[in-house]
Chains A and B, each alone.
Chain A
């Protein structure tokens, strides 16, 4: 039984079929592009113009989906970029600039505008963002109407061109191909994963090292550039633009509706949506007089009400062979399924040097106040390299808030956090993550619509020593194996059970290659045997890799087995800091956990939770 043969025989049928259909797909695609390129030479002007409009719509739709489907920000003002590109190009051309320069000008100006508005716009999230971006359209329309010296106001701009359908068409076709290839590329490189992590949980994305600010700006500018290209080409072909045709509300949402109709965030979503709805629109235009805007509005309304995820995501689609291959999510094209060659006992983590005399992290009078509520009350503590610290205290005592202050989820109201001699107050969340702080959350926060493998690969891609997606996906398998989640490697993270999610959290935190690991109540809900195994993991990461651990936990027996020291919080203040055996005898601690009255008639010592620890 030679290894190679066995693999070929026992591998799932998908890879084999996939490579075959990949070839077929490429051939088909090339054939379609060639056929389309021939259209202006063999077909009539009407059909050519129709297909041209479909090409333009696709460029708009796909560039929109980079921001909406990939990153989760619904930019309803995307058409603004189209309009600015159109006007920029038209104005430059009427100024007798050469074609290429005019095109470049349009694209650059739009890109700059996008950069400029990204500052206020990205302060918004969710439906507020959708609203804010939609509000740009009437603004642009007013500017177009009123900046008459530049835009010629309501009269619009007539471009000094004639009969450019053929070249415009071919350029548009080329632009479409580039747009599609750009989409494929985005989903293969780190940038794509950054977008997807933001889509799922921006805050967590930052704490695993993703620079969300630059990523958001980049993708908006990118989508603006392509939108402007579409606008310029359309203006060229139509040889006339005016404010209403370019910024009107009824045309502005057409590309958006097209993508959402089929499925945002899917590889084929924008293309399928554009083709289907453009054809439908053509039919409407021809057969229905008047009320077109109302009908379009009705279509958008129905899509929103019944299929906001797009029809490609409906359950019945998976059963239809042709459609189901169009309905695949991006990550289904990406999975890394080559077998592991290395031994799985070893994680690809560097062994950190441990000097027990040097503090790794130091809190100096840290205070966190929310209005009148003081959650962390002037806490000072020092944790040495290589220590395992238990952080305990009743609910509401400020443990998670303390973690949030260290990882910069909150900015402390006062005080300093020093990490490896560096003051963290000047650093952003992603910088702190790359400096070596990894954490888990009390309620697991995985990147829900990404696979287990991708979840772990993302910190590896954005850490201090970043890997390419391919390498990251491969290295992620070691962590997945370590977390005993290999059977769930390609499962979506939001389909996991709570325990599996906790294991994923822990593995993802390790994938941040931390020097300091903040573990927030992972053991609750585990059986004693599972708790013991988890304790071993904690001990292992410290002994083998030199990771310092702060562990928030309620289960004393677990802490007892592995911690060097215990820190006790109560109502935001530090009330005890020392070896477990000493802390359990501390007056204040006993009162916190037992309550005065109970402490007064506490029964036999063998029962008390802390007493037996002391014994």
Chain B
């Protein structure tokens, strides 16, 4: 479904990604692991069209994504839950959810997805009229995920969704994500906590200094003695 090959992305004058590759099949759950500053968020941003790519290719459903705007990418079925959530703090929870469907081809069809996400995170229904900025960290994360879901994406990108979320809510969100995945949504999960990530995904990539350095399915990675050293910097 998503096929990234040898991607190079610049941030102004500096190269943030040197050689990034990633492949996700429809319905898969794939993890992207790596230390801070390794380039995980840059990769997600590049997929959704926030950063232009200098070289390499991104293919989605067989079609190249290189010169496509964010608007078209989202309309095409990719949604990003960004690092730091990036909610609209002064707007109500409901309005935040509506914004998620901004690029949707038929905004009239928003009733369906809205009901779905409300069912997934019941607390959102309760807090629908409240300003998003007043919610707790975990609740805000739910809003961010729900916002991404209102466009009924086929591919969901999650960039470090558990930062600042209380452990209890982390479990709740993970359950919700499993439910979404079972509905056929493909997922890429960017995480710092390796074990939490590997618990959820089937396959994972490790990125270091802007390059993909390791790839494998869950068990292979966990049993790989070089995995810890490559990722965790142990000698």
Contacts and interface: CB of A to CB of B under 8 A. Distances in A.
A39 B185 CA distance: 83
Given A594-B195, A598-B199, A555 B232 contact: yes
B102 interface: no
B106 interface: no
A15 interface: no
A170 B14 CA distance: 53
A558 interface: yes
A159 B106 CA distance: 75
Given A395-B160, A555-B233, A603 B193 contact: no
B235 A528 contact: yes
Contact of B164 (A525, A554, A555, A571): A571
Nearest to A561: B235
A375 to B, nearest CB: 9
B234 A556 contact: yes
B38 A525 contact: yes
A609 B222 CA distance: 12
B196 A595 contact: yes
A591 B199 contact: no
A528 B195 contact: no
- How large, as a class, is the contact surface on chain B? 20 to 34
Interface stretch (B53-61, B67-75, B144-152, B223-231): B223-231
Contacts of B222: 603, 607
A595 B198 CA distance: 11
Contact of A598 (B37, B195, B225): B195
B126 interface: no
B112 interface: no
A607 B195 CA distance: 11
A396 interface: yes
Interface string A603-615: 1001111001100
A606 B225 contact: yes
Given A495-B13, A595-B195, A609 B36 contact: no
A602 B13 contact: no
B13 A556 contact: no
Contact of A394 (B163, B166, B228, B232): B163
Given A555-B232, A596-B167, A524 B199 contact: no
A525 B209 CA distance: 5
A116 to B, nearest CB: 36
Query: In this complex, which of A373, A593, A595, A603 has the most chain B Cβ atoms within 10 angstroms of its Cβ?
Result: A595
A530 to B, nearest CB: 10
A534 to B, nearest CB: 12
B191 to A, nearest CB: 10
Given A395-B163, A396-B163, A524 B196 contact: no
A372 interface: yes
Contacts of A373: 137
Nearest to A606: B225
Interface string B192-235: 11111011000000000100000000000011010110001111
Interface in B22-69: 35-38
Contacts of A558: 233
Contacts of B227: 607
B197 to A, nearest CB: 9
B198 A598 contact: yes
B20 to A, nearest CB: 14
A560 to B, nearest CB: 9
Contacts of A613: 234
Interface in B150-177: 160, 163-164, 166-167, 170-171
Contacts of A531: 233
B113 to A, nearest CB: 29
Contacts of B137: 373, 396
B163 A598 contact: no
B109 interface: no
A497 B36 contact: no
A602 B193 CA distance: 13
Contacts of B171: 596-597
B193 A593 contact: yes
B134 interface: yes
Contacts of A571: 164, 166
Nearest to A599: B195
Contact of B193 (A495, A557, A594, A606): A594
A521 interface: yes
Interface string A520-534: 010011011001000
Interface string A375-389: 000000000000000
Nearest to A595: B196
Contact of B35 (A495, A554, A603): A554
Contact of B37 (A394, A524, A599): A524
Contacts of A608: 228
A189 interface: no
A293 interface: no
Query: In this complex, which of B13, B37, B196, B198 has the most chain A Cβ atoms within 10 angstroms of its Cβ?
Result: B37
A591 B228 contact: no
A576 to B, nearest CB: 16
Given A524-B35, A554-B35, A595-B170, 15 more contacts: A394-B192, A524-B37, A524-B38, A527-B209, A528-B235, A555-B233, A571-B166, A593-B193, A593-B195, A594-B193, A596-B167, A597-B171, A598-B196, A598-B199, A609-B234
Interface of B: 13-14, 35-38, 133-134, 137, 160, 163-164, 166-167, 170-171, 192-196, 198-199, 209, 222-223, 225, 227-228, 232-235
In order of increasing CB-CB distance, the 7 nearest A-B pairs are A598-B195, A396-B164, A595-B196, A396-B163, A524-B37, A555-B233, A609-B232
